[in-house]
Amino acid sequence: MSYIKAGQDANGEDIKLHYTDQGQGKPVVLIHGWPQNHEAWTYQLGELPKHGLRVIAYTRRGFGNSSKPFEGYNYDTLADDLKVVLDTLDLQDVTLVGFSMGGGEVARYMSRHGGARVAKVAFVSAVTPFLLKTDDNPDGVPQPVFDDIQANIAKDRFDFLQSFGKDFYGVGVLSKPVSQAVLDWSFGMASLGSHQATVACAHAFAETDFRPDLATINVPALVIHGDEDKTVPIKNSGARMTEHLKQANYLVYEGAPHGLFITNKDQLNRDLLAFVAGS
């Protein structure tokens, strides 16, 4: 396994981020969502490097095989971890692709680190611009929705993760867009996360306002969202992104749920390849 050191925890232990690096060419960095790890990008890692791209995917702290410190799950720290990845691998002219929670890391990195090393950004089913309903964000998600998530994690995190996975992929009584094997695979990834990371990151993506971060982005941007996303509803996220991005191409995937990197993998791969290539 390959790891990148991202500082130390409060006890002086090294924090290591598990990553994979595939192919040669223009660099693309894939940032996974909550509560999975970088292996969620399996169909992108298996396809994008075939087209002259160097594709890097890493697991954020607290999840998968990365280190699991008790602290550091705010977006400033997570953006700093992303910077360490780009700096350590000395990547230039990067396309950042953030899925769900990972879209927040993209936005915060661009503002906090001035977009260093980055040529383009893509937001896929992202939590940006701001999920929580507040006085100045009246169309956001009400606080009780996030309170229920935290309560269910506290009650039985593993039962929550199994139920969450069904909504994630749009599985219902009549809708079976993915197999039971995919649900089991996703649950396995999610269950590897630490309890603290799962809880703290849920607070982070629910409560962080990325509108100021998005206003700093001056590179070409791609926004992709499914109109049947029940996890991060399109009206709270994708549909509002072009209000905040100066150069954004907005693609709506009809009938797609949150986990469209699986359900719409071929479509997503085509769109990412076209975006990186410049069309």
Residue positions annotated with a catalytic role: 100, 229, 258
Dihedral pair phi/psi, residue 9, rounded to 5°: -85, -175
189-192 LR contacts (CB < 8 Å, sep 24+): 189/35, 189/36, 189/37, 189/39, 189/40, 189/63, 189/64, 190/35, 190/36, 190/161, 190/164, 190/165, 191/158, 191/161, 192/37, 192/63, 192/64, 192/65
Helix axes 195-207, 101-112, angle to 10 degrees: 70
> What is the rounded distance in angstroms from the CA atom of residue 248 to the CA atom of residue 103?
14
